[in-house]
Amino acid sequence: MPLAKCRWVPSHLAATALAFVTLAAGIEGPTFAADHPRFEFTRMIAHWDGYGDDDYLQFVEEAQPEVCQLGFYGAHFWSLVHTKEFAGYPAHFPVRGINECRDWFKTRNAEVHKRGAKVVGHMNVKFLVGDPEGPEGPRGFFHFYKNLWDEKILGPKPVADPIDLLEKDKDGKPISINNYGIGGMKEYWACLNNPNWRKVLKAWTKHGIEQGCDGFVANYFYRHDCHCPHCVAGFKKNLKARYKPEEIKAKFAIDDLDTHTFPEIVSWHDPKESTPLRREMLRWSQVSNKECFDEVFHQYGRSLKPDLITAQWNHLGDFNQINGDERCLMPGDLWGKDETYLWYSTGGAAFYTDLKAGFLGEGTLQARYIRGAFDDKPFTLGKYENTRTRCYIAELAANGGAPIGFYARFKDPEARKEIARYYQFLKKHDDLYRANQPYAETLLIYPRDAVHQGNVVSVETFKQSGKRLLDNHRLFDVVPSDRVTPEVRQRYITVIDRANDTSENEVKRRDEVIADTRWSKIEAPQSVRVSASRPVKGNELTLHFVNYNREEPKEPKSAGGGIKDEKPIAVEGINADVALPQGFTAKRVEFLTPELTDAVAVPFEQANGRLKLTVPKFLVYGVVRVIP
């Protein structure tokens, strides 16, 4: 089965597709199973604090996002809303008390709906704050479970003792840490493989839907080295299903699986210390977590609300694999299956610039990877900065994503003005963005198969290849290796495969690709990123230009102190020589940018299936519409 949405390429050139390495005949990559109907959106906002301000709803009216990610309906809510720490990190509840805050969320959700947006609530699925016992008795989550659980709202308790719900170490003790110290309480972790904990999550899901949530984004969606009976039995069942006894012995040195005691059942771990058994543990951890997600939100949640929006708050950073990314060993047929949109945090990998070193503090390559892996469904990047507001929005809009992941700083008047300006720009030109499809001439293959074999060096080479393509302003897609069939390869002029091959010959071949005359050629500063797309309606071609050049803060690698430190420097003189789709004849070309109210006509030359033009001067985001 081909990809559900066609990826546009210059079809008159696709037949001459060039691959650097041998095509493996008959490869059939995994495809998505029957998926939930798409919910397309292009503008969102997300807040963990500030959503209770009186001015929040006015900001929603000004920016007009389609999705508002706000409110807490999982373990954060039930652990903290009744405590004196209710107003602090992480949830910043506007009022104290279970019933009081339930009422507040129900009212706030209704108000957001009146303003035309969907509400997606945060659902902490396992991170519990509290103390089972102490001088004051149980606190946090444990006080809630023992003393405040309301069966009229949540139904009967799945178990009498909440300790039975927790992840356990190999000695049978609950896994506990004290990283945050919220209210002096410890942190515990519920086990997603525990069927009784899944009952808790279902009760919380039902409650959130009743409060007016259109969907949920799951937080803290990972597994630790848990040895509870459910994890031990689940991992052994996984091994039996995937391997014969003789294979288990040969590959993992386990003579008798039934009697074997595992000293560890790890999840994320140091790639340098990885082994086939450890990767099997990580794979199973991620697959079993996905099974929990599907059971709770897709099977149960959508039985209550068929159009329930679902997402996971995951972490990618700078392509951290095996030691990060909640899906790094996920089989391709489960990767994002039935989920509405993806949230991927870039963490500390992209919140500053170092322009002299060619570091743009961007998530462009991550965005293209997610887009290719997720079949062009909506996604966002969580970037932990509040300075480059315009650049952040432009980056995602140019690459098929939905800005803005985290946070929309509406309390800063200048940031608020620019968010509203850019969101109104996206709304005005909605036909260019909604469910558009990438237009590319090269396929850069993400080495997911190699990662599954423990080869993370291949990811570093992939990143180097991606940066070279970005720096040379090439139009390219990223698709994971296990989704690339011969038919997919044939859609592109060039295919960069085997990103783990760092031989001199391979590097030379990549240099030849950069110089390939069949490419579109964009002459622009290295601080500019270029992409292209085609809208669903009409037959246009859209070119996107994002300018990262700026006056940087004096402090090296500083995130800055807000939009006052964004200080973009306008760019001009970008020349584009674009290979057009087969049979495409441009009748007019227009230039758009959020800083201008009206479109600007752009002079152009057209001959032999190519279009030449100079992009007008712009500040951060410029869009060229090529209209047939």
**Tens-digit pLDDT profile for residues 268-323:** 999 999 999 999 999 999 999 999 999 999 999 999 999 999 999 999 999 999 99
**Burial degree of 196 (CB within 10 A; 0-12, 13-18, 19+):** middle
From the centroid of its chain, how far is CA 212?
24
Mean pLDDT score across all residues of the chain = 92
Across the range 250-263, mean pLDDT stands at 97
To the nearest whole percent, how much of the chain has pLDDT over 90? 87
Do 66 and 430 meet the contact criterion of CB atoms below 8 Å apart?
no
Tell me how far apart the alpha carbons of residues 361 and 548 are, in angstroms, rounded to a whole number: 8
DSSP bridge partners of 578: 611
Across the range 189-206, mean pLDDT stands at 98
Across the range 7-11, mean pLDDT stands at 56
AA letter at 586: A
Across the range 575-579, mean pLDDT stands at 97
Across the range 574-598, mean pLDDT stands at 96
Domain 44-430 has CATH 3.40.50.150: no
DSSP bridge partners of 188: 128, 176
Residue 107: partners with Cβ closer than 8 Å, 6 or more residues away? none
Residue 11 has pLDDT above 60, yes or no: no
Residue 449: partners with Cβ closer than 8 Å, 6 or more residues away? 481, 482
Per residue in 147-194, pLDDT tens?
A: 999 999 999 999 999 999 999 999 999 999 999 999 999 999 999 999
AA letter at 27: I
**Burial degree of 112 (CB within 10 A; 0-12, 13-18, 19+):** buried
Cα angle 476, 481, 485 (rounded to 5 degrees) comes to: 85
Question: 241 by DSSP, 3-state: which?
Answer: helix
Do 622 and 547 meet the contact criterion of CB atoms below 8 Å apart?
yes
pLDDT at residue 385 in the model: 80
Across the range 398-427, mean pLDDT stands at 94
Across the range 16-31, mean pLDDT stands at 31
pLDDT at residue 432 in the model: 98
Across the range 321-328, mean pLDDT stands at 97
Across the range 427-436, mean pLDDT stands at 98
Per residue in 489-503, pLDDT tens?
A: 999 999 999 654 544
Tell me how far apart the alpha carbons of residues 515 and 508 are, in angstroms, rounded to a whole number: 11
Across the range 353-359, mean pLDDT stands at 96
pLDDT at residue 585 in the model: 96
Residue 545: partners with Cβ closer than 8 Å, 6 or more residues away? 398, 524, 528, 529, 530, 571, 574, 615, 618, 621, 622, 623, 624
From the centroid of its chain, how far is CA 152?
36
Residue-level length of the chain: 628
Residue 599 has pLDDT above 60, yes or no: yes
The band of 386, judged by pLDDT with boundaries at 50, 70 and 90, is: confident
Across the range 482-494, mean pLDDT stands at 94
Per residue in 99-122, pLDDT tens?
A: 999 999 999 999 999 999 999 999
pLDDT at residue 538 in the model: 86
Q: Output the CA torsion sign for 586, 587, 589, 590.
A: negative
Taking CA atoms, 224 is separated from 54, 264, 285, in Å, by 40, 10, 9
Tell me how far apart the alpha carbons of residues 446 and 597 are, in angstroms, rounded to a whole number: 39
Tell me how far apart the alpha carbons of residues 518 and 449 are, in angstroms, rounded to a whole number: 30
Do 434 and 42 meet the contact criterion of CB atoms below 8 Å apart?
yes
Tell me how far apart the alpha carbons of residues 528 and 222 are, in angstroms, rounded to a whole number: 36
Sheet strands (E) in 195-271: 215-219
Long-range contacts of 613-617 (CB under 8 A, 24+ apart): 613/575, 613/576, 613/578, 613/589, 614/573, 614/574, 614/575, 614/576, 615/524, 615/543, 615/545, 615/572, 615/574, 615/575, 615/576, 615/591, 616/572, 616/591, 617/570, 617/571, 617/572, 617/573
Cα angle 387, 390, 393 (rounded to 5 degrees) comes to: 110
pLDDT at residue 61 in the model: 97
Alpha-helical (H) ranges within 115-159 are 141-143, 151-154
DSSP assignment of 502-555 equals --HHHHHHHHHHHT-TTS-EEE--TTEEEEEEE-SSSS-EEEEEEE--B---SS
Taking CA atoms, 397 is separated from 42, 260, 340, 379, in Å, by 8, 51, 18, 10
Across the range 519-536, mean pLDDT stands at 97
The band of 65, judged by pLDDT with boundaries at 50, 70 and 90, is: very high
Tell me how far apart the alpha carbons of residues 295 and 365 are, in angstroms, rounded to a whole number: 32
Q: Where are the domains of the chain?
A: 11-33+438-627, 44-430
Residue 593 has pLDDT above 90, yes or no: yes
DSSP assignment of 257-310 equals TTT---S---SS--GGG--HHHHHHHHHHHHHHHHHHIIIIIIIIHHH-TT-EE
Look at strands 342-347 and 309-315 and give their pairing.
parallel
Across the range 251-275, mean pLDDT stands at 97
pLDDT at residue 511 in the model: 55
Question: 184 by DSSP, 3-state: which?
Answer: helix
Prediction pTM value: 0.93
pLDDT at residue 7 in the model: 63
